[in-house]
Amino acid sequence: MNRRNFIKRSTPWLSLPLLLDAMPIFAAKPERALDRLNRLALEEDKILVLVQLNGGNDGLNTIIPLNQYSAYQSARANIALPEQSILKLNNQTGIHPAMQSFHNLYNEGKLGILQSVSYPDPNFSHFRATDIWTSGSASDEVESSGWLGRFLNYYHPEFPDNYPNEEFKDPLALTIGSVVSQTCQGPVSNMGLAVSSDEFYFPYQPPADDDEIQGGHYGAELEFMKTIMRQTNQYADGIQAAFGKAETLSPDYPESKLAEQLKIVARLINGGIQTRIFIVNIGGFDTHANQAVAGSTITGTHANLLADIADSVSAFMDDLKRMGVEDKVLGMTFSEFGRRIRSNNSNGTDHGSGAPLFVFGTKVNPTIHGANPSIPANPAQNESVPMQFDYRDIYATLLQDWLGADESLVMQIFDRSFQHLPIIGTITSTDDPNIINGSWLGQNFPNPAKNNTTIKVFSSKKNLARLVLYDNMAREIAVLLDKEIEKGEQIVMVDTSSLLQGIYHYRLNLGGMQLSKSMIVKK
């Protein structure tokens, strides 16, 4: 058995915790020695915080298309939010009333929203979809490493040898919980630690016949495990020191597990820890039943979860501001998938595709990226929100713009080219979400289509353009345009003669900008 297979089969052994002031620290694994070319990211102390929403968040009851309220209400009458209760982000889009704290952050310029995030041919299994999102892979690829793990592994090829050291005294990634996030899984082993508030604790004790084991069949592998445990103990000293050196400053954290996790992150940052990646999580989003209270749809399970996210993140942001470090931290939420357009008969929603993704921090572009998802007048029971943004483009943009990765490295990490998105900074926009930087995507004509239809694309400058057609299950049907186009209007002819009757969606990626619309095929 080679070392890689041994380590993968020994994952539980390599996650033994150490106590951090009644919070165990769990071992994970390797990382790399920072490349001089990308030292800038560490020198500027940029911190990335991921908030994982486990279960699949219902995007249409999170960010609500006010400009299609009647279709929204008709598709999910038993859980739809009353129009007057929805908090307006602009005249076309609103946010769940339980997310008042996010509404405030948006108005303060500290929250960005990306509409309908997914990937082509989405998978609706919790386990498989989570693997896809944490690995940064396509739906038809099985990738054993995580996207952040590959990023860290590139810069730290010598890990675990001589880690921690004078230059890298702290873990490069910390999961707040009992299991190290798969996002940080490297090519051989996970490249982070987990700090948990759980009392569960297994102290590491070397076996009595240690010398004999070293000379056995798995001596090298067991020696590697011992090295990891020794390093974990050394890392624990630094984590304990940072945790004990400082306190959180905001009095406004809610009483919740997510808030407790973010308080730990804030306290460690305030204590001077040099860790640059933190992952926290909140569960409960698999809302097949009783998502909202009948007759009082602004309350219920989903409302409580959304309030927890908004209030916890808002308190965390307040903490960072009080510490004077809010400009150094950027956060992002993600969930393994969204929910379907139609609600079910159990006051809930079933597994779907696209859902909004939030980015927060003082350096984010505080806007709504993309248009409201199109809601048909009578959507099929299994119809999903079509993708506007590929989640890998978001990951890639953050690696490049926030953590300082070179574009060529980012392409290597995801084994594909990517569309750079204006997540950080500002972009020119209008009140019309279908127009971005002077470019737009037209409604197909005729619509409904029978044998053919045309789609107009207008680009304000020379741009790379990719126009893709999807069915109502978000499966890719055809690539309609994939080339560099000149400034001005382009007319794309679409042959619909072989398509079945139903609703389809087309998505334009134009120089990193994303626009999408729906079309009807009627025979």
| pLDDT tens digits along 92-107 | 999 999 999 999 999 9
> Tens of pLDDT along 262-317?
999 999 999 999 999 999 999 999 999 999 999 999 999 999 999 999 999 999 99
Q: H/E element holding 335? A: strand 329-335
> Tens of pLDDT along 369-425?
888 988 988 898 999 998 888 999 999 999 999 998 988 899 999 998 888 888 997
> Tens of pLDDT along 401-415?
999 898 889 999 999
**310 with 299: CB under 8 angstroms?**
no
What is the average per-residue pLDDT within 103-119?
95
**272 with 45: CB under 8 angstroms?**
no
Model pTM? 0.80
> Tens of pLDDT along 41-66?
444 589 999 999 999 999 999 999 99
> What is residue 54's predicted lDDT score, i.e. its pLDDT?
97
What is the average per-residue pLDDT within 330-358?
97
Chain centroid, CA 258 distance in Å = 16
> What is residue 50's predicted lDDT score, i.e. its pLDDT?
98
> What is residue 66's predicted lDDT score, i.e. its pLDDT?
96
> Which two three-digit tokens encode residue 419?
């569309």
Q: How far, in Å, CA of 515 to CA of 523, rounded?
A: 27
Q: Using the predicted structure, report yes or no on whether residue 332 has a pLDDT greater than 50.
A: yes
> What is residue 190's predicted lDDT score, i.e. its pLDDT?
81
pLDDT band at 429; cut points 50, 70, 90: very low
Q: How far, in Å, CA of 189 to CA of 520, rounded?
A: 48
The three state secondary structure string of 353-416 is: CCEEEEEECCCECCCEECCCCCCCCCCCCCCECCCCEEHHHHHHHHHHHCCCCCHHHHHHHHCC
Average pLDDT, the chain: 84
Percentage of the chain beyond pLDDT 90 is: 54
Distance (Å) of CA 373 to CA 60, 83, 416, 427: 9, 17, 26, 21
pLDDT band at 24; cut points 50, 70, 90: very low
**116 with 59: CB under 8 angstroms?**
yes
Q: What's at 48, amino acid-wise?
A: L
What is the average per-residue pLDDT within 342-353?
97
